[in-house]
Structure 1
Amino acid sequence: MECEAAGVSPAAGPEEHSMIRNVVLVHGGFVDGSGWLGVHRLLTADGFTVKIVQNPTLSLEGDAAATRFVLDGLDGPAVLVGHSYGGAVISEAGTHDAVAALVYVAAFAPDKGESVNTLIADPPPGAPVPPILPPRDGFLFLDRDKFHASFAADLPEDEAAFLADSQVPWGVGALAGMVTEPAWRHKPSWYLVATADRMIPPPAQRAMATRAGAVTAEAIGSHAIYASQPGAVADLIRQAATSR
Structure 2
Amino acid sequence: MNTKSNLFKKSSFLVTLVLIILSYAPQSSRAQNTTTKNIVLVHGAFADGSGWKAVYEILTAKGYHVSIVQNPLTSLQNDIDATNSVINQQQGQVVLVGHSWGGTVITEAGVNPKVASLVYVAAFAPDRGETTGQWVAAAPPSPDAGFTAPDQFGFIYYDRSKFHGGFAADLRESEAAWMNATQVPIVGKCFETPIQEVAWKRKPSFAIVATNDKSLHPKTQREMYKRADAKITEIKGSHVIFISQPEAVAKVIMAAANIH
Instruction: State whether TM-score is above 0.5.
Output: yes
Deviation string for 1:41-71 (max 9, x for gaps)? 0000011100000000010011000000001
- In the TM superposition, what is the alpha-carbon distance from 1:17 to its structure 2 partner? 3.4
Counterpart code for 2:131? S
- In the TM superposition, what is the alpha-carbon distance from 1:122 to its structure 2 partner? 2.5
- In the TM superposition, what is the alpha-carbon distance from 1:177 to its structure 2 partner? 1.8
For the residues of structure 1 that align with 2:102 and 2:160, how far apart are their CA atoms? 21
What does residue 135 of structure 1 align with?
Answer: 150
List structure 1 runs of 4+ shifted beyond 6 angstroms: none
Deviation string for 1:116-141 (max 9, x for gaps)? 111122233x6456321121120001
2:247 to 216, 219, 231: 231
For structure 2, the residue ranges without an aligned partner over 5 or more in a row are: 1-29
Deviation string for 1:3-24 (max 9, x for gaps)? xxxxxxxxxxx95431242000
Q: Residue 83 of structure 1 contacts residue 104 of structure 1 at CA under 8 Å; is this kept in 2? A: yes
User: After the TM superposition, which residues 148-159 of structure 1 pair with which residues of structure 2 at under 5 Å, given as runs?
Assistant: 148-159=164-175
Counterpart code for 1:110? P
What TM-score comes out, normalization by structure 2 length? 0.86
Counterpart code for 1:131? G
Counterpart code for 1:213? D
User: After the TM superposition, which residues 1-244 of structure 1 pair with which residues of structure 2 at under 5 Å, given as runs?
Assistant: 15-124=31-140, 127-128=142-143, 130-137=145-152, 138-244=154-260
What TM-score comes out, normalization by structure 1 length? 0.91
For structure 1, the residue ranges without an aligned partner over 5 or more in a row are: 1-13
For the residues of structure 2 that align with 1:59 and 1:129, how far apart are their CA atoms? 27
Higher helix fraction (1 or 2): 2
Q: Residue 58 of structure 1 contacts residue 171 of structure 1 at CA under 8 Å; is this kept in 2? A: yes
Q: Residue 157 of structure 2 contacts residue 186 of structure 2 at CA under 8 Å; is this kept in 1? A: yes
Aligned partner of residue 137 in structure 2, secondary structure: coil
Q: Residue 139 of structure 2 contacts residue 216 of structure 2 at CA under 8 Å; is this kept in 1? A: no
Aligned-pair identity (%): 48
Structure having greater relative contact order (Cα 8 Å, sep ≥ 6): 1
Counterpart code for 1:35? G
Aligned partner of residue 231 in structure 1, secondary structure: helix
Q: Residues 61 and 129 of structure 1: is their aligned pair in 2 closer, same or farther, counting only changes over 3 Å?
A: farther
Deviation string for 1:169-224 (max 9, x for gaps)? 11112111211011000000000000000000001101111000000001100001
- In the TM superposition, what is the alpha-carbon distance from 1:146 to its structure 2 partner? 1.2
What does residue 7 of structure 1 align with?
Answer: none
The number of residues matched between the two structures is 230
Counterpart code for 2:171? L
Q: Residue 144 of structure 2 contacts residue 165 of structure 2 at CA under 8 Å; is this kept in 1? A: no
- In the TM superposition, what is the alpha-carbon distance from 1:144 to its structure 2 partner? 1.4
Q: Residue 80 of structure 1 contacts residue 94 of structure 1 at CA under 8 Å; is this kept in 2? A: yes
For the residues of structure 1 that align with 2:98 and 2:80, how far apart are their CA atoms? 11
Q: Residue 20 of structure 1 contacts residue 78 of structure 1 at CA under 8 Å; is this kept in 2? A: no
For the residues of structure 1 that align with 2:81 and 2:167, how far apart are their CA atoms? 27
What does residue 13 of structure 2 align with?
Answer: none
Deviation string for 1:54-98 (max 9, x for gaps)? 000010011000000001111000100000000000001000011
For the residues of structure 2 that align with 1:46 and 1:20, how far apart are their CA atoms? 10
Q: Which has the larger radius of gyration?
A: 2
Counterpart code for 1:69? S
Counterpart code for 1:133? T
Cα root mean square deviation, aligned: 1.3
Q: Residue 144 of structure 2 contacts residue 162 of structure 2 at CA under 8 Å; is this kept in 1? A: no
